[in-house]
């Protein structure tokens, strides 16, 4: 059967349920802990911060499938199914016997996979009768996605945007405003934690961990608001499973079995979603796949971090999570993959990695943009810097196949487009891109401050 | 039969031929004239400027179908078929009995339909053994598309970008550079015509007509180069017919017959392509459709221009074309629809309009962005300012249906996305958008300078 360039499922083949990979994990991810009592967070405690239905999903390690509510499903039809693309042109350019596929999540206005969870979280907030939600955004993809979702359900949306990103990406901000969101550069004077950080570090350009603290504080101190988060959490991995489920349906349709599945990993939402059904088969002993997480060398949570309980935010207002972490005080060198600069990693993926069920590699920024540019020229899609980490690793695997002559099937997640990242491409085009990898001493220093649990 | 949100044709349903609407026109579009002799341009004359195969297409008023070469067809498969979307959410928001469909051409990195012709023109240039091509770009969509096409065929690509656009849209420029194009702000000191204009109007921020003159001069004075153009020409309307052919195939599949077909009109490439097969039926007396061209009130070629021979560029180096024109010296007030600021209009569309086979309306900028924002919020796509002119007119027609209760079927062309137009959205979000409609005296002054033919 000839494989088309783009495999589009029919609309009625969009999955009707999300898959919860935790149900098939023997070793469950460790629970979130109350930072005061060091006891597992209860539903009641979590509901102060998060929407009630989302707390249920967050705490449920056993239910394998969750029905996708009809309102969310209708919204999914606006931009899903997303195409699974056979990278014929890339294969040809690399002259590799490998067969390369990528699941492209960038063909929606948010420009990334983030919309899959944003619309779900907005829906549950609306269902609960809330007025609005608060969140943080770094690169801006999550903030954009949430703005779109909130506009659809007529919810107020308050975004704390890391200040350096707010200033460098005014157009991201305008997309959010066009969708009716209010966008505040973080740290701000709107919150106690923001004021404290500004007093301690005047002139700081902010960080994701700090913006999270502000958004959480704003949510818990405002009537009718809750906080929502675009990555790391188990509920997000659940919603993002739609990526993997569609991918698997499309591959199964053509009788294709991947050998290697690759995704970039920041907080783990895209990778967790992409691999979910494949990992499920692996956990149940039904199939085997190599799974590779790709992270920036400047922020190497998996490859150089520690598996331990840590704070999720700078202000230490969030629960503790057990995860591969570089320490909540770790500040990665400036790089252009804003979505991959988080110090920690999804607890689900951390457990899978610790159990040896997946691998991780780190890649340097110039090599990433080199792959991104080549990909853009042959495949016609200008990828986001984050997504390009996966391209780099996929290309490297395909080049290994060229050496060995193996006809491996490689599937990677192309999470989004780089239209709002042209400053980064400009640096690359001008030969001015740099990267800085943390020293062992720096990491040791940062990791020495993990909480004692 | 239930109509899905997005009708995707199968890959093998992508049309294998372009349709040449001129073959069915009783009154053919008037020929291009040599500005010196006022005689019709010969193939030999045109081949000094344009690629030989494209000249054949340009001059052929009789052949109804042209085979799409295999290399172009393979490239089309990268991003085509494009979806025909049923605007269920927009219909609901408008509470209209009208059924609204839009053909969405923005899901490719160039962000618009321009790629359909860019890849064709690059292919014929490569086939002819050329080193490269030159062109101009205003809003940047055409330049981006051509850069992508040239990267694919390994052709040199030299873009003259209208200076104000070059400065206001640095990120458009970077996309082109990422694809390997060289981008020069126009007017420049690289050409005689550029130098002359700079001497006459120091500090000018350029115009499309001036950038065309520079690109043509550069092409004819460089060994192994030709000039390519993204709109206005008959060859471009031919290539863009793929939009209409796919639309018609998708509609036919579900037994849908449109009542009204709407497209924005700058030089006419998108509208000409969208309507081609429908107009063919109309010309052959097989069906009837209302066809509406939508243009900005600030640059109203159809609604307030004159049908006459005029210069295509400021430097008067191009052939004369008979078209609806505002005069080649007309400078529209600053607006945000850079792709709709051309003083003239496709000769094909001009003839069809003059023959009463289509209508035209002009719309003001704030009304356009109001429609754009509402559309973005309910349909999840952030439209380009140019495309939003068609949205405005489609919404107006749907609202008329609401009044009359008529269940008309409206199809419009959504040519592209607005990711590089966020400055314009920012003006709108801040309530600072303005528009300026030319006075009758201004138009009369500009039209008084038409060449005597």
CA distances from B94 to A143, B98, B99, B402 (A): 27, 9, 11, 8
Going by pLDDT thresholds of 50, 70 and 90, the confidence category of residue B86 is: very high
Describe chain B by its helix, strand, coil percentages, rounded to 5. Answer: 45, 15, 40
Say if the Cβ atoms of A109 and B376 lie within 8 Å.
Answer: yes
In this complex, do B171 and A419 lie within 8 Å of one another by their Cβ atoms?
Answer: yes
Q: Residue B217 — very low, low, confident or very high, per pLDDT cuts 50/70/90? A: very high
pLDDT in tens, chain A (453 residues): 789 999 999 999 999 999 999 999 999 999 999 999 999 999 999 999 999 999 999 999 999 999 999 999 999 999 999 999 999 999 999 999 999 999 999 999 999 999 999 999 999 999 999 999 999 998 899 999 999 999 999 999 999 999 988 988 889 999 999 999 999 999 999 999 999 999 999 988 888 888 999 999 999 999 999 999 999 999 999 999 999 999 999 999 999 999 999 999 999 999 999 999 999 999 999 999 999 999 999 999 999 999 999 999 888 888 999 999 999 989 888 788 888 889 999 999 999 999 999 999 999 999 999 999 999 999 999 999 999 999 999 999 999 999 999 999 999 999 999 999 999 999 999 999 989 999 999 999 999 999 998
- A177 is written with which tokens? 């405003």
**Omega of the bond leading into B81 within 30 degrees of 0 (cis):** yes
Interface membership of B27 toward A (CB under 8 Å): no
* Residues pairing with B361 in the sheet: B294
pLDDT at B98: 98
**For residue B233, how far is the Cα from the chain centroid?**
10
Average pLDDT, chain B: 96
Tokens at B77, concatenated: 């498969």
- What is the CATH architecture assignment of B17-68+113-227? 3-Layer(aba) Sandwich (3.40)
* Domain boundaries, given as residue ranges, for chain B: 6-13+81-111+235-447, 17-68+113-227
Q: Give the pLDDT band (50/70/90) at residue B1.
A: confident
Q: How far apart are CA B12 and CA B8, in angstroms?
A: 11
What Å distances lie between residue A432 and A58, A319, A366, B177, CA to CA? Answer: 43, 40, 9, 14
Q: Which of B170, B373, B380 sits opposite A109 (nearest CB)?
A: B380
Provide the sign of the torsion angle of the four alpha carbons A414, A419, A422, A425, taken in this order. Answer: positive
pTM, entire model? 0.96
For B172, B232, B296, B364, B369, the CA distances from B388, given in Å and listed in that order, are 19, 20, 10, 11, 7
For B15-37, the pLDDT digits (tens) are 999 999 999 999 999 999 999 99
* B311 DSSP 8-state letter: E
Q: What is the pLDDT of residue B315?
A: 82
Quick one: pLDDT at residue B32?
Answer: 96
Report chain A residues whose CB lies below 8 A from the CB of B79.
Answer: 380
Phi, psi of A74 (to 5 degrees): -60, -40
Contacts of B420 in chain A (CB under 8 A): 419
In A172-191, the residues whose Cβ lies within 8 Å of chain B are 174-175, 177-180
- pLDDT score for B130: 98
pLDDT of residue B329: 87
Answer for the pair A238, A53: CB distance below 8 angstroms, yes or no.
no
Interface residue A371 vs chain B (CB under 8 A) = no
- B369 in contact with A, Cβ within 8 Å: no
* A404 part of contact set with chain B, CB < 8 Å: no
- Reported as a single tens digit per residue, the pLDDT across B271-292 is 999 999 999 999 999 999 999 9
Contact list in A for residue B78 (CB cut-off 8 A) is: 5, 89, 379-380
- Please name the residues between 79 and 118 in chain A that touch chain B, using a CB distance below 8 Å: 79, 89, 107-109, 111
Helix (H) or strand (E) holding B237: helix B234-253
Report DSSP state, residue A162: E
Q: Which of A75, A151, A381 has its CB closest to that of B109? A: A381
A380–B148 C-beta distance less than 8 A: yes
Q: Which CATH number fits domain A6-13+81-111+235-447: 1.20.1560.10, 3.40.50.1100, 3.40.50.170, 2.40.50.140?
A: 3.40.50.1100
Say yes or no for a CB contact (<8 Å) between A429 and B177: yes
At B138, the pLDDT band (50, 70, 90 cuts) reads confident
Assess whether the region A6-13+81-111+235-447 and the region A17-68+113-227 belong to the same CATH fold: yes
**pLDDT higher than threshold 90 for residue B206:** no
């Amino acid at each position: 059967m000839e494989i088309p360039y783009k495999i589009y499922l029919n609309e009625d083949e969009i999955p009707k349920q999300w898959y919860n990979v935790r149900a098939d994990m023997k070793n469950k991810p460790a629970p979130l802990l109350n930072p005061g009592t060091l006891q597992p967070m209860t539903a009641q405690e979590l509901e102060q911060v998060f929407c009630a239905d989302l707390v249920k999903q967050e705490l449920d390690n056993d239910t394998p499938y969750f029905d996708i509510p009809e309102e969310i499903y209708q919204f999914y039809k606006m931009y899903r199914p997303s195409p699974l693309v056979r990278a014929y042109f890339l294969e040809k350019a690399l002259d590799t016997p490998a067969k390369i596929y990528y699941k492209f999540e960038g063909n929606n206005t948010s420009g990334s996979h983030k919309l899959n969870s944003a619309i779900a979280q907005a829906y549950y907030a609306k269902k609960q009768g809330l007025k609005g939600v608060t969140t943080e955004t770094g690169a801006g993809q999550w903030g954009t996605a949430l703005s779109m979702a909130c506009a659809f359900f007529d919810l107020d949306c308050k975004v704390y945007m890391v200040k350096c990103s707010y200033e460098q990406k005014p157009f991201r901000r305008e997309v959010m405003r066009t969708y009716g969101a209010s966008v505040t550069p973080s740290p701000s004077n709107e919150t106690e934690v923001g004021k404290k950080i500004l007093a301690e570090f005047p002139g700081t350009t902010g960080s994701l961990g700090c913006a999270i603290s502000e958004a959480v504080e704003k949510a818990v101190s405002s009537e009718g608001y809750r906080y929502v988060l675009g990555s790391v959490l188990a509920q997000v991995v659940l919603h993002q499973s739609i990526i993997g489920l569609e991918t698997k349906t499309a591959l199964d349709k053509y009788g294709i079995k991947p050998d290697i599945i690759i995704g970039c990993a920041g907080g783990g939402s895209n990778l967790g979603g992409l691999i979910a059904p494949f990992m499920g088969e692996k956990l149940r002993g039904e199939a085997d796949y190599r799974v590779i997480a790709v992270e920036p060398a400047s922020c190497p949570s998996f490859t150089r971090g520690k598996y331990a309980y840590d704070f999720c935010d700078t202000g230490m207002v969030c629960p503790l999570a057990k995860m591969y972490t570089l320490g909540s005080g770790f500040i990665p060198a400036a790089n252009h993959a804003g979505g991959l600069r988080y110090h920690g990693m999804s607890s689900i993926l951390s457990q899978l990695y610790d159990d040896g069920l997946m691998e991780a590699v780190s890649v340097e920024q110039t090599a990433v943009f080199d792959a991104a540019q080549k990909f853009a020229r042959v495949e016609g899609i200008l990828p986001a810097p984050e997504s390009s980490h996966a391209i780099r690793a996929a290309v490297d695997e395909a080049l290994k196949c060229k050496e060995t002559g193996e006809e491996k099937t490689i599937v990677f997640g192309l999470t989004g487009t780089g239209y709002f990242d042209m400053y980064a491409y400009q640096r690359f085009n001008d030969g001015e891109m740099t990267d800085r990898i943390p020293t062992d001493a720096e990491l040791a220093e940062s990791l020495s401050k993990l909480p004692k649990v």
